[in-house]
Structure 1
Amino acid sequence: MSESAPLLSSFQGASDEFPSVLEGKKVLLATESWGPVNGVSRTTRSLVEYLQAHGVDLILVAPDFKGDAAKQTQSWERRLPGCALPYNPDLTVVYPFHIGDVYRQAFKPDIIYLASPASLGFQMLLQIRQLRSSPPVLLNFQTDLSAYSEIMLPAPLDRFGVWLLGIVQGFLFRSPAVHTIFYPCSAIRGYLEHVGAPTNRMVQLGRGVDTVLFTPDQRDEAYRQQIAPNGEKILICVCRIAPEKGFEFLAQVAIRLAAEKIPFKLLIVGGESQPGRRKQSQATIPDLFLHCSVTETFGLVVLEAMASGIPVIARDQGGPSDIIRHGQTGFLVPPQDVDQFTKLTREVSKNTSHRKKLSTAARQQAEDTTWEKINRRAAWQIAEALTNADQESHSPSRQPRTGILAWVIEQVCLVLAVGVVYGMWLIAVVPLIVHGHRFLPRAWQALRNQFQCSRPLRK
């Protein structure tokens, strides 16, 4: 069992005030996800609102999202065309673009911030390496593409995809322009070290939670009675309905609980485009939150459940390992141990007094983690990068090469780098699309075969 690491790291020089040096500065923030409701877009939206509220001149660059077709984009948003992934249309692989065109549509920034860099962020990092004078770059590693590839790609492409992705990320993250690499948990730091990202640029940054929206006060006993009229324990899993979210594992747990004649109702809340189902999850306030994904770099839903006063049982991998205090606010289970996961679910659901203690402690921990604190820490790190920008721009590693031979070397390196990145997308994403369509139905069907699934209506 892993030890619970501090959720937030300390930033030298940070204070309770917004860094005034950022007021009026131009920040170009590029994110892989902006329209859909997920951890990346919620985290990024919170930071954008925080910076804009404090006088930062910000332009946001994001892929086109088909769910935004009828939505009016803001004047500070710039969208890039791409191809939506069929197995998850919320994500878009951006077509090739030139960073100069982005600058012309926005401005030449003082700072570049890359949220969860992938198809958009990788291209920007590649081109930033070729700029003779680049603004400092901060990137927030929020999506573990390596874990996605390992789970969803068929053998032997899984190992090859992980290896190739590691080469690409290590190369891009070592760019002299990169000032800070935010990482959300200790497991991700280990991965970054493994692929060769510079450790002296790594800074741990978690996520916050809205403790007003997510609170035990949302409990609706009448609605709870509608869902579990015979006093069944309510277990809930909130996540996008996708292969990497651990539905095969969840199916095994549910089947074992049913075989033991445990009276329970399992709510699976997914599909972010259905706000009514999100409201149902907030109003119900279940007894236990089951988190079966092993690809979470942080696991924002875990923190939201804790803020709602719900103990969490999660697989001990990724972000939840840093969030949950084992035995105090919930439990961590070895990733493949279905027996232990089932046993803890059964025991905690039956023991009311123990569950209440876990619930109280979970809420208290969440109250110490707000978006205000997270965003302020990020702002101070951005301010540090801006303050050091002039000194970095004159360092030997940032001096441009001169001469025809140097120009040829630069162009060859660029072509090779672009080839590796697009080769990675071709090799990894295409099989991911095909294999992802085949993977999810098996787990989903196992749950449907075991239970008569219904969608309770909001009163």
Structure 2
Amino acid sequence: MKNTSRDVFPPQLKGKRVLLATESFGPVNGVSRTTLSLVEYLRENGVELAVVAPKYEGSQASLQAQTRKQNYQSNELRLSGYPLPYNPDLTVVYPFRLDEVYRQTFQPDIVYLASPASVGFQLLLQIRQLLRPPVVLLNFQTDLAAYSEILLPRPLALGAVWLLASVQGWLFRHKAVHTVFYPSSGIFSYLEQAGAPVDRLVKLGRGVDTQLFHPSRRDEAYRRQIAPNGEIILVCVCRIAPEKGFEFLAQVAARLVQVSLPFKMLIVGGNRNPAVEAQVRRLFDSVRDHVVFTGFQMGMDLARAYACGDLFLHCSITETFGLVVLEAMASGLPVIARDQGGPSDIVQDQRTGYLVPPSDLDTFVELVQRVSCDENLRTNLAAAARQYADETTWEKINRRVAWRIADAFDEHTRRQTTRRPILDIVGKGYRLIERLRLRVAVLFIWFMWMISVVPLIVHGSKIVPRALQMIRGVSTSK
């Protein structure tokens, strides 16, 4: 195996059983698209894969629209839970038992956790109780602490951030966890402070479909529909939600109107909570003639939306990576982004776009003006952006993940072989203890549900209006 080229799929993974658990599999978001790409790659290369994910309304219809091969839906377990009030596409899964998951899928050789939260945390806690736990790899894709800081009132937010960091650090330190993938330098710092083992942290970006997202998707008829008077088209793609920086984007739009820049702002995305989407849209009431909301789009429609733009604006500061930034660059758009989170590691300042201090509205607006009015500058930035995206295909990213999984499995197998005689001697007695530990773990999960998740659900209807009120207050004050 040592002489095997890493430019191909690791042959030792073929036929292995991988249990892939994810918090989002089907909704239109970066985590879901990233996970779906890996699922397709592993199955195409002969891995026996079971997917465990939350149920959500419309899950099958959405998944069928994104899945390229119908048989990829086999061996999929959907867990019941409670949808979050401010984002119904995300579900907090009810407490479940590991043995029930295994019974409905299989006993895995490898466990892979994508963006662990209500599903991943429960699996990790129960895996810790096993006599011979499978090897675990996880991909830290969602900064729950950053969302908590924005969506919750300060006393509750501080408690939530502390609790999340404590739980994540404790779970990630377990010996079964071989690798923790992280997407950006900011997340590395967070994980290090949370107590995750630094020697197991591995940086992993995301890939992009450079054939789907391509400058050739530019549609002049669609451009005329959006900007009938030849205005510059500014594109923003993300879920319509308070934490995505829309208060900042609305202020940018208002300032651009003040300086008489002829522009149209194309905002692609939505939210299955109509009240949340309506409240965010109201932020743009004063500039509504310059803003076009398209709702959710994907596939060719999404690729066309990107390619028909002239400049991509990214105002969220909660992104662990920012897949939309990479898709925009693949589509030939320069990017102007606030310099925080994942985009800070993607955008090459002054080469593929610009990074702006998160609170510097003046500089952000000035750069939008400059790039919009300078066609040569915009062309050069766009070419460099596309060139950068060409080096970040899904094939390369997924192959890196596959080899890391293979290495983890090989190391785990060697360790298990050396320990097996001792475990066989104490096996029967220990299994009784193991079953007891698993039951205690499930009881602990129910306890955590009662003290943390239930209050969040009960007060969920208050969280969104409070967050939106905060947004409007910030906008008014500035």
Shorter chain as denominator, the TM-score bin is: 0.7 to 0.9
Contact 1:234–1:287 (CA under 8 A) maintained in structure 2? yes
Residues in 2 aligned to 1:421 and 1:395: alpha-carbon distance in whole angstroms: 39
Mapping 1:178-257, distance limit 5 Å: 178-257=177-256
Contact 1:184–1:206 (CA under 8 A) maintained in structure 2? yes
Larger displacement relative to structure 2 (412-421 or 294-303): 412-421
The alignment partner of 1:275 has SS state of coil
Residues in 2 aligned to 1:143 and 1:14: alpha-carbon distance in whole angstroms: 32
Contact 1:325–1:331 (CA under 8 A) maintained in structure 2? yes
2:462 matched residue in structure 1: 434
Structure 1 unmatched ranges of 5 or more:
1-11, 448-459
TM norm structure 2: 0.84
Which residue identity does 1:40 align to in structure 2? Answer: V
| CA 77–276 in structure 1, closer or farther in 2 if over 3 Å, else same | closer
Contact 1:269–1:278 (CA under 8 A) maintained in structure 2? no
- Tell me whether 1:328 sits opposite 2:351 in the alignment: yes
Which residue identity does 1:53 align to in structure 2? Answer: E
Cα deviation digits, residues 140-163 of structure 1 (max 9, x gap): 000000100011111111111111
Residues in 1 aligned to 2:97 and 2:161: alpha-carbon distance in whole angstroms: 27
2:361 matched residue in structure 1: 338
Residues in 2 aligned to 1:164 and 1:76: alpha-carbon distance in whole angstroms: 33
Contact 1:285–1:310 (CA under 8 A) maintained in structure 2? no
| CA 446–270 in structure 1, closer or farther in 2 if over 3 Å, else same | farther
Residues in 2 aligned to 1:308 and 1:425: alpha-carbon distance in whole angstroms: 40
1:275 matched residue in structure 2: 297
Cα deviation digits, residues 164-193 of structure 1 (max 9, x gap): 111111111111111110101111111000
Residues in 2 aligned to 1:403 and 1:77: alpha-carbon distance in whole angstroms: 31
Cα deviation digits, residues 49-107 of structure 1 (max 9, x gap): 10111110111111112112557782211111111112111101111110100101111
Residues in 2 aligned to 1:22 and 1:278: alpha-carbon distance in whole angstroms: 33
Q: Alpha-carbon deviation of 1:438? A: 3.8
The alignment partner of 2:58 has SS state of helix
| CA 421–202 in structure 1, closer or farther in 2 if over 3 Å, else same | farther
Contact 1:43–1:207 (CA under 8 A) maintained in structure 2? yes
- Tell me whether 1:37 sits opposite 2:28 in the alignment: yes
Q: Alpha-carbon deviation of 1:231? A: 2.3
- Tell me whether 1:18 sits opposite 2:40 in the alignment: no
Larger displacement relative to structure 2 (32-41 or 400-409): 400-409
Larger displacement relative to structure 2 (348-357 or 423-432): 423-432
Mapping 1:374-393, distance limit 5 Å: 374-393=397-416
Structure 2 unmatched ranges of 5 or more:
65-69, 272-294
Which residue identity does 2:107 align to in structure 1? Answer: K
Identity of aligned residues (%): 58
TM norm structure 1: 0.87
How big is the alpha-carbon RMSD for the aligned residues of Structure 1 and Structure 2?
Answer: 2.9
Which residue identity does 1:16 align to in structure 2? Answer: D
Contact 1:65–1:92 (CA under 8 A) maintained in structure 2? yes
Cα deviation digits, residues 335-381 of structure 1 (max 9, x gap): 11111111111111111111111000000000011000000000000
Residues in 2 aligned to 1:203 and 1:88: alpha-carbon distance in whole angstroms: 29
- Tell me whether 1:119 sits opposite 2:141 in the alignment: no
Residues in 2 aligned to 1:377 and 1:409: alpha-carbon distance in whole angstroms: 38
Q: Alpha-carbon deviation of 1:257? A: 1.1
| CA 322–431 in structure 1, closer or farther in 2 if over 3 Å, else same | farther
Contact 1:82–1:93 (CA under 8 A) maintained in structure 2? yes
Residues in 1 aligned to 2:221 and 2:434: alpha-carbon distance in whole angstroms: 71
Residues in 1 aligned to 2:238 and 2:451: alpha-carbon distance in whole angstroms: 30
Residues in 2 aligned to 1:108 and 1:280: alpha-carbon distance in whole angstroms: 38
The alignment partner of 1:289 has SS state of strand
Which residue identity does 2:247 align to in structure 1? Answer: E
Residues in 2 aligned to 1:442 and 1:407: alpha-carbon distance in whole angstroms: 48
Tell me the number of residue pairs that the alignment of Structure 1 and Structure 2 aligns.
Answer: 435
Mapping 1:29-68, distance limit 5 Å: 29-68=20-59
Contact 1:14–1:377 (CA under 8 A) maintained in structure 2? no
| CA 24–428 in structure 1, closer or farther in 2 if over 3 Å, else same | same
Q: Whose helix proportion is higher, 1 or 2?
A: 2
Q: Alpha-carbon deviation of 1:426? A: 4.0
Residues in 2 aligned to 1:81 and 1:158: alpha-carbon distance in whole angstroms: 26
The alignment partner of 1:60 has SS state of strand
Contact 2:85–2:464 (CA under 8 A) maintained in structure 1? no
Q: Alpha-carbon deviation of 1:393? A: 3.5
